[in-house]
Amino acid sequence: MTSDDRLVSERFPRSSAYHPEWVTAGVSGAANSLWLTEWLAEAMDLRPGMRVLDLGCGRGASSIFLHREFGARVWATDLWFSPTERLRRIRDAGAGDGVFPIHADARSLPFADEFFDAVVSIDSFPYYGTDDLYLGYLARFVRPGGAIGIAGSALTRDIDGQVPEHLRDWWEPSLSCLHSAQWWRRHWERGGVVRVERADTLADGWRYWLDWQRAVAPDNRVEIDALTADQGDYLGHVRVVGRRREDVVLDEPITSVPVRYSRQPLLRD
């Protein structure tokens, strides 16, 4: 296999146009962010000029992809990775006029209500989005009728009881945030904030997960062995797309509770 053949996939023609060295230089997670972004975009109506929040964007490859491929203006927002390093990657890609690096916590976003036309989150949402109240919080930042879409490494079906034996060497407590497409559909529909338009599992997603690990972390035998043994029984890629309901009024966020102190006797006589 030549250098130019690495990370080429007929399933992801847009992503395959990007140089493998550029893609791997921006690695920030266990999945190929361009493949996942391309797959998610197939279920979203992304158009030139749209304001898009790329939440948990890592080092910004997905944000650059969204701008270059769909003409969106993207706010590349992440907590863990340097916005300065992200800006250099953005400028080197010629995307400085349409991708804006932001350092922020997903639970404390610095944006105005209804500022975005769409929100995307690639391989990061489970780390904060399983909170029952989070989707209602996030939906404030997208206009009514705007879309929220997530894609990432996940479960093809939820684990009931003990973790399967072939996954135990790889599994750790933090992975309990991984869920199936069906779980996410129920989770989002229950709050009544969005209409879920898509919740599905990528065909052969475990193979793409495995291909990525072999490309960027060939020494990660524990994860590679788990994926190889699992063969997609539990591990894969999931995407969910919902649209903010226009007939639902969101609760105002509580930032403080005003009270007045009234002095009272401490003990009974």
**Backbone torsion region of residue 88, taken as left when φ is above 0, otherwise alpha when ψ lies between -120 and 50, otherwise beta:** alpha
- Answer whether residue 185 is part of any domain: yes
Q: pLDDT at position 54, please? A: 98
The pLDDT assigned to 255 comes to: 83
Structure tokens at 196: 């879920």
Structure tokens at 70: 């769909």
Query: The CATH number of the domain where 143 resides is what?
Result: 3.40.50.150
Number of domains comprising the chain: 1
φ, ψ (nearest 5 deg) of residue 176 = -65, -10
Is residue 6 in a domain?
no
Residue 101 placed within a domain: yes
Residue 194 forms part of a structural domain: yes
Is 201 within 8 Å of 156 (Cβ atoms)? Answer: yes
Burial class of residue 260 in the structure, from the number of CB atoms within 10 Å of its CB (0-12 exposed, 13-18 middle, 19+ buried): exposed
Q: CA–CA separation, 67 vs 241, rounded Å?
A: 19
For residue 155, list its beta bridge partners: 235
Give the dihedral of Cα atoms 133, 137, 140, 145; nearest 10 deg. -40
- Tens of pLDDT along the chain (269 residues)? 445 688 999 999 999 999 999 999 999 888 999 999 999 999 999 999 999 999 999 999 999 999 999 999 999 999 999 999 999 999 999 999 999 999 999 999 999 999 999 999 999 999 999 999 999 999 999 999 999 999 999 999 999 999 999 999 999 999 999 999 999 999 999 999 999 999 999 999 999 999 999 999 999 999 999 999 999 999 999 999 999 999 999 988 888 899 999 999 999 98
Q: How far is CA 206 from CA 9, 41, 168, 196, 201, in A?
A: 14, 20, 17, 24, 10
- CA 40-45-46 angle, to 5 degrees, is 80
**Predicted TM-score (pTM) of this structure:** 0.94
Element (H, E) at 121: strand 116-122
Residue 19: inside a domain: no
* β-sheet bridge partners, residue 142: 116
DSSP string over 57-76 = -TTSHHHHHHHHHH--EEEE
Question: Residue 157 sits in which domain range?
Answer: 26-244
- d(CA 182, CA 196) in angstroms, rounded, equals 11
Does residue 4 lie within any of the structural domains?
no
Helix (H, G, I), strand (E, B) or coil at 6: coil
Residue 247 has, within 13 A of its CA and on its CB side, a CA count of 2
174 located within any domain: yes
Alpha helix (H) residue ranges in the chain: 13-16, 20-25, 33-41, 61-70, 83-92, 134-139, 181-191, 205-216, 221-230
Asked if residue 261 belongs to a domain, the reply is no
Q: How far apart are CA 240 and CA 253, in angstroms?
A: 25
